[in-house]
Amino acid sequence: MDVLKRLLRYVRPYWKTLIFVSVLLLLRTGLTLVPPLIQRRVIDQVIGNENLQQLWGLIIILIAVHALTRVVEFGDLYFRHVVGENFIFDLRVRIYSHLQDLSLSFYENTSTGELMSRVTNDVNVLERFVTHGVALTLADLLRLSGASVVLLTLNWKLAMVMLAPLPVLAGGLWVFNQRARPIYRRVRDRLGDINASLQDKLTGIRVVQAFEQEEVELVKFRRVSQNYLEERVLAIRTWSVFFPIFRFLSALGGALVLGFGARLVVTNQLSLGTLVAFLSYIISFYEPLRRLTEIDNTFQQAIAAGERIFELLDRRSQIQNAPDALHLEDIHGEVVFDQVHFRYSDGDESVDPQEENVLHDISFKIEPGEAVALVGPSGAGKTSIANLMCRFYDPDRGRVLVDGHDLRDVEVKSLRKHIAVVLQDTFLFNTTVKDNLLYGNPEADEEEMIDAAKAAHAHDFIQELPEGYDTEIGERGVKLSGGQKQRLSLARAILTDPRILILDEATSSVDAEAEYLIQQALEEVMKGRTALVIAHRLSTIRNADKIIALEGGRIREVGSHEDLLAQEGLYSQLYQRQLDLVQDGSEEE
C-alpha cells in the first residue's frame, strides 16, 4: 500500500481532471444499467401484453442511452489517458532528475542497462496501471455496486443464488495475490538483467568481435534470457490456473440463476422480462468482477515495478550540500589537500571499514595560477585526487579546500562551475561537433567556439569533416580518431573558461605531433589558471611549477623536474624507464 500512496502523490496535481473523469465514470456506469430495464419493459409490457404503442418510444430511448454512453465513453477514455501520460511524464522526469543527482559511487555499482529498464520498462508498467487499472477498477466497482442493488431489487432470492460462489472467488483471489507478487518482482528483476546484458555487450561489440567471442556472449545472453523466460512461464502458469477457475465459477452462478429463475417463471413467481433483465445484470455483475481479478494481475505487476522505481528514488547521493552551503561566485583557485585519507565505497554498511585506503595522509597546496603535475605508477591515486577536487567523492578523513573553503561546506554546482576536466577516457555525445563543444558553455558565440577549437588544434580537422562543425560524430564520437576526440574534449574544457583545469592523461590518445601542438596550446591556456595535470608521459610535464610523485596512495616526492631528477628517487626511476622505452623504440625503427 505504501507504493500506491506514493504513486498518488504524482497524480495529485491532476485532481480536477480526475474528479471530472470520476463523474464521467459514474455517469457511464449508470447508463450501462439502464438497457436491461428497458428490455424488461419491452418483454413484459409490449410482448407480454401485445401492446405495440410503447415499442418505438422504448426503442428510441434505448438508442439514445447507447449513444449517450458512447459520448461519455469518449470523454472518459480521452481525459483518463491524458492524465496517465502526464503522470508518467512527471515520474520519468523525476527519476532522471534524481539519477543526475546521485554520486559516482552509485554508478560504479549499478548497471546502466538496469537503470534503463527501470526508467522505461517499469515506468511503462505503471502507465498501463494508471490509465487502465485504476480507472477501470473504479468503473467496475461502480458497475458491481449498481448491479448488486438492481439485482436485489428485482429478486433477492435469485440474487442470493448468484452470490453463492463469491466466498470461493475471494479465497482464490487472496491465494493468487500471495503467489503472484513475488513472482512479478522476479520477472521485473530478470527483465532488468536482460537490459543490462544488452547494454553492456552492445556497447562493447567491437571488443566482442575482435576477440571472436560472439558464441560465448550468445551463450551468456541465452542464459539471462532463459532466467527471464522461466519466471515469465511461472507467472503465466499462476494466472492461467486462476482465471479459468474464476470463469467456471462465474458460469456456475449464471447457470444456477437460470435454473432457479426458469422454475420461478414457470410457477408464475417471476415474470419472463424480469428473468431476462436479471440474466443481463448477471453479465454486468460477473464481467466487472472478472475484470477486477484481471486488473489485480496488472496491479501486482505495477506493485513490483513501483517497488523497483521507489527503491531507486530512495537512494541518496553520498555527496550532499550542507544546509548552509556557501555559493562560490568567483574563486582565485587556491587548492589545499589537508591530511586526506580516502577509499572507494558504495556506502554499504557491509563494506569492511578496514578496507585499504587508496589515499593515505595526502597533504599539498596549489597556489592560484600554479600548474601542478601528479605522476606515479598505475593505482598510485592520481585520478582519485582529481575526483576529490571535483567533489565527486568526499574524503574519509582530512579536508580538501578551495580558497580556504572546505568543499563539504560549498554548493557542489557552484564549485564545479569553476572547474573543467579533460579525461583520459574521452566521452562525446551522439550529436554534432558544435553541440559537443558548446556543452559546457551553451552561451558561447561562434567566434569563441572556433577560438577554443584552434587553441586545442582541432579547428583544422573539424573543417575537413563533411559538414564541418555541424557534422554528426556518432555514439561516443565513433566517427573520429582517438586524437581527434581528445582534442575536441580539450576544446570543450577551454570554452568553459575555468579557474581550475584538470587534465587527466589529456594527451594520451594523440600522436607525437598533435601532442606537441596541444602542449604549446596548454601553456597558453593554463596561464593564470590553477592546473592539475595527471600525466603518464613525463616529458609533457617538465615545465610544471611543481611535480608530486605518488606511490601506493602516498606522496613520495615533491619538487621541480630538475630537483626530482637530482634526487634519483621514484620520479627519476620513472623518467629513466620512459627514456629507455623511447630509445628501444627508436633502435627498432
Say yes or no: 278 and 337 in one domain. no
What proportions of the chain, in percent to the nearest 5, are helix, strand and coil? 65, 10, 25
pLDDT at 188 over 80: no
CATH of the domain at 387: 3.40.50.300
Residues 563, 553 contacting (CB under 8 angstroms): no
Indicate the pLDDT class of residue 297, thresholds 50, 70 and 90: low
> Are 414 and 293 members of one domain?
no
Considering 15-19, 32-36, 252-256, 325-329, the range whose residues carry the highest mean pLDDT is 325-329
Report pLDDT digits (tens) over 429-455: 888 888 888 887 888 888 888 888 888
Q: Which of 98-107, 173-182, 200-209, 552-561 has the highest mean pLDDT?
A: 552-561
Q: Which residue did the predictor score with more confidence, 154 or 394?
A: 394
Residue 398 falls inside a structural domain: yes
**Gap between the Cα atoms of 278 and 272, Å rounded:** 10
Highest mean pLDDT, choosing among 69-78, 193-202, 289-298, 536-545: 69-78
**CATH number assigned to the domain comprising residue 274:** 1.20.1560.10
Task: Please tell me whether residues 274 and 333 are part of one structural domain.
Answer: no
pLDDT band at 353 (very low <50, low <70, confident <90, very high): very low
Query: Is 371 in the same domain as 276?
Result: no
pLDDT at 399 over 90: yes
| Mean pLDDT, residues 491-515 | 76
pLDDT bin (cut points 50, 70, 90) of residue 346 is low
State the cell numbers at 61. Answer: 430511448
Mean pLDDT for the chain?
A: 79
The C-alpha atoms of residue 521 and residue 525 are separated, in whole angstroms, by 6
pLDDT band at 555, cuts 50/70/90?
very high
Residue 254 falls within a domain, yes or no? Answer: yes
pLDDT of residue 196: 75
Assess whether 232 and 337 both reside in one domain.
Answer: no
Element (H, E) at 337: strand 335-342
Do 335 and 281 fall into the same domain? no
Residue 470, in any domain of the structure: no
Is residue 6 domain-shared with residue 130, that is, in the same domain? yes
Q: Is the dihedral of CA 216, 219, 223, 229 positive or negative?
A: positive
The answer to whether residue 405 is domain-embedded is: yes
pTM of the model: 0.70
Query: Quick one: 299 and 408 in the same domain?
Result: no
Residues 236 and 143 in one domain: yes
Asked, for residue 434, whether it belongs to a domain, the answer is no
Q: What residue has cell string 447457470?
A: 255
Backbone dihedral angles phi then psi of residue 564, each to the nearest 5 degrees: -70, -35
Confidence bin at 204 (pLDDT 50/70/90): low
Instruction: Give the model's pLDDT for residue 147.
Output: 73
Distance CA 468, CA 459 (A): 9
In the block, cell 418505438 appears at 56
Helix (H/G/I), strand (E/B), else coil: 528: coil
Residue 496 — very low, low, confident or very high, per pLDDT cuts 50/70/90?
A: confident
Q: At residue 189, does pLDDT exceed 60?
A: yes
pLDDT for position 517: 64
The residue ranking higher by pLDDT, 406 or 78, is 406
| Confidence (pLDDT) at 296 | 67
Q: Is the pLDDT of residue 336 over 90?
A: yes
Total count of domains within the chain: 2
548, part of any domain: yes
* 283-309: average pLDDT: 73
pLDDT at 335: 93
The pLDDT value recorded for residue 349 is: 46
105 vs 365, residue with greater confidence: 365
Question: Does the residue 435 lie in any domain?
Answer: no
If asked whether residues 303 and 333 sit together in one domain, one would say no
Q: Taking 70 as the threshold, does the pLDDT of residue 1 lie above it?
A: no
Edge to edge, the sheet with strand 359-366 lists 359-366, 335-342, 397-402, 405-406
**Confidence band of 74 (pLDDT split at 50, 70, 90):** confident
More confident residue, 523 or 340: 340
More confident of the two residues 204 and 550: 550
Confidence of residue 587 (pLDDT cuts 50, 70, 90): very low
Give me the domain span that covers residue 195: 2-313
State whether 191 and 282 are in the same domain. Answer: yes
On whether both 306 and 403 belong to a single domain, the answer is no
The CA–CA distances, whole Å, from 52 to 42, 45, 273, 503 equal 9, 9, 16, 94
Give the residue-averaged pLDDT of 201-217.
69
Give the whole-angstrom CA distance, residue 330 versus residue 535. 28
Q: How confident is the model at residue 115 (pLDDT cuts 50, 70, 90)?
A: confident
Q: For residue 23, is it within any domain? A: yes
Which contacts of 173-179 are long-range, i.e. CB under 8 A and separated by 24 or more positions?
173/242, 173/293, 173/296, 176/238, 176/239, 176/242, 176/293, 176/296, 177/296, 177/300, 179/238
